[in-house]
Amino acid sequence: MKTMRTDTREHVLETGERLCTQRGFTGVGLIELLKEAGVPKGSFYYYFPSKEAFGVAMLERYFARYVKQFQAWFDAAPDQPRQRLLDYYQQSLSTWCQEPTFAGCLSVKISAEVCDLSESMRTSLQQGSTALIAVISRVLEQAEARQQLTLFTSAQSTAERIYTLWLGASLHSKICRSSAPLINAREEMARMLPLPV
């Protein structure tokens, strides 16, 4: 019975994430979510006391998965942290060029939307972003220790700038329907992470 309950909760969260990445958090009504997930209203409220609580759980689930995948990307080639970081963002750029909607990026889709609507969802976004920045910071520290780059500010500060640069470029690319902001951001990252002289 416990497995069935866990599966139902996970199914609702998965369905909600898919819908929210398409139309945003406020663009998805509870009735639509329940219909798409095929669960009754009572089941939803068994797991989530409100739509806002559902949003928090959805973001926590999203970032937990994202951080794990992000870290695994670097763990796959630990001897080249600088290049691996640049390759990650190059891959993201290539993905955007194939499907220029950021359909898979929940944080880009709803960050500006929910921050003024829900303090608890804003906090979840902040915690998720902080976790991703921490991964970047560790990668930069590893790259510096291996003498693969020269940092002019702390690894933490540089990681925050990289994350903010890419998030801003992602939003701008959505606005102008162009990969140019992401291309510029990727080029700026390479300048921010110069090879040792």
* Domains assigned to the chain: 52-192 (1.10.357.10)
Q: Which residues contact 55 (CB under 8 A, 6 or more apart)?
A: 25, 114, 118, 120, 121, 124
Q: Which two tokens stand for residue 95?
A: 């993905």
Query: In terms of Cα–Cα distance, which of 92, 118, 104, 99 is closest to 21?
Result: 104
Q: CA–CA separation, 153 vs 162, rounded Å?
A: 12
| Cβ contact 193:136 at 8 Å | no
Question: Given this model, what pLDDT does residue 197 score?
Answer: 76
pLDDT at 2 over 70: no
User: What's the pLDDT score for residue 54?
Assistant: 97
The model carries a pTM of 0.91
- pLDDT tens for residues 138-181? 999 999 999 999 999 999 999 999 999 999 999 898 888 889 99
- For position 18, what pLDDT does the model report? 94
Per residue in 69-121, pLDDT (tens digit) is 999 999 999 999 999 999 999 998 888 877 655 555 888 889 888 988 899 99
**3-class DSSP assignment, residue 195:** coil
What confidence score (pLDDT) does residue 108 get? 87
